[in-house]
Every structure is written in structure tokens, then in C-alpha cells.
Amino acid sequence: MEKTAIYPGSFDPVTNGHVDIVERGLNIFDKIIVAILRNPAKEALFTVEERKEMIETSLNRNSNVEIDVFDGLLVDYAKKRNAVAILRGMRAVSDFEYEFQLALMNRKLNREIQTVFLMTGLRWIFISSSIIKEAASFGGNINGMVPPIVSRKLKEKFGFITPSDE
């Protein structure tokens, strides 16, 4: 039986830390579905379609990775996709309390879906999508912290380059 995990998030934008979690998660699971949460209450910098494209390009369209979009309860989505686990990355102790609460709630809602935590690789521990967006908005050099497509899209979004500059 194929073991599938759901790796949920807003991925606004995807970072090298996210890519690291997916790549290492593939050592545990046969397939990972990167599930972009469509959350109308949260104002995103990139559209869902832009985020999906950046993730697909960043993961080199790996055949064991699927990119999808969902809304509603994560455990319902996981059950619908026949996933055995929810994959979550943690950067620091400060992530633990929030992630632990989510895992307990998901377990209460569906005991068949496990939550698996992977610690972010040390080289990515300080990176978050929010910090990346803030640095990029001021023209900071984010190369090496995000996949090349994300760096380019952020520079375009903040007006540091235009698509015709390439």
C-alpha cells in the first residue's frame, strides 16, 4: 500500500526550508501532496495559481510529489486523498506549541490520520515566508534562501525587476 502524506501550508511563497521538508519527507513516504490552503481570510502576496507554479518548478515536477489546493478541514482533505499522515515542518521551539495544538485537534477529528513532524534543516531554521517577503520588499538579497523562481517572482512583485528585464 502506498503511503501518502499531506504537506499543508499557504506557501506564500515556498522557501528552501519547505523544499527541504518535502525532499526529506520522500525518504519516509511514497508520495507527498503539497496542499496549498485556500484561505480567503488571509491576504496572500501571490495567487494560488502563482504559488502552485512556483512549487511545481521548485520541486522539479517530481513524480512522487503532487501539488494541490484545498479548503476546509485538513483531516477531511487528507481522508479524501487517502493519506496516512500530515507532514509538518518545525523550525524552532516557538513553532512547537502551535503545531502541537493543531496535531491534537486533527487527531481528535480523525484518529486514523497521523501527524509527522520534521525539524527543518539547520541551514533553513531562520527562514519563514514572512521574513522572506519582508526582506524582498526592501530589495534584500534572498538568493539561496528560496528557489530561483521565487526570488525572481518576488523581485517582479516588488518592482525590482520587470518580466521584460530577463
User: Which one from 31, 51, 88, 129 is the annotated catalytic residue?
Assistant: 129
Q: Distance (Å, rounded) from C-alpha 5 to C-alpha 81?
A: 9
Residue 138 has pLDDT above 90, yes or no: yes
Percent of the chain with pLDDT over 90: 80
Q: What is the pLDDT of residues 73-88, one digit of tens each?
A: 999 999 999 999 999 9
The mean pLDDT of 100-129, rounded to a whole number, is: 93
- Which listed residue (24, 81, 91, 133) is catalytic? 91
Residue 84 has a CB neighbour count (10 Å cut-off) of: 17
Residue 61: pLDDT band with limits 50, 70, 90:
confident
Round to whole Å and give the CA distance between 81 and 107. 17
Clarify whether 153 is annotated catalytic.
no
User: Using N-to-C axis directions, what is the helix angle for 148-157 and 129-137, rounded to 10°?
Assistant: 50
pLDDT of res. 55: 97
Q: Kindly list the structural domains of the chain, giving each domain's residue range(s) and its CATH number in brackets, ordered by start.
A: 4-126 (3.40.50.620)
pTM for this entry: 0.92
- What pLDDT score does 164 carry? 60
pLDDT in tens, 139-156: 999 999 999 999 999 999
Q: What's the pLDDT score for residue 86?
A: 98
Angle at 48 (CA atoms; ends 29, 50), nearest 5 degrees = 95
Backbone angles phi, psi at 19, to 5 degrees: -60, -40
| DSSP classification of residue 164 | G
Q: What is the pLDDT of residues 7-37, one digit of tens each?
A: 999 999 999 999 999 999 999 999 999 999 9
Q: Which residue has the higher pLDDT, 96 or 163?
A: 96
58 catalytic per annotation: no
Catalytic residue check, 61: no
**Active-site residue (options: 42, 108, 111, 164):** 42
Q: Give yes or no: 80 in active site.
A: no
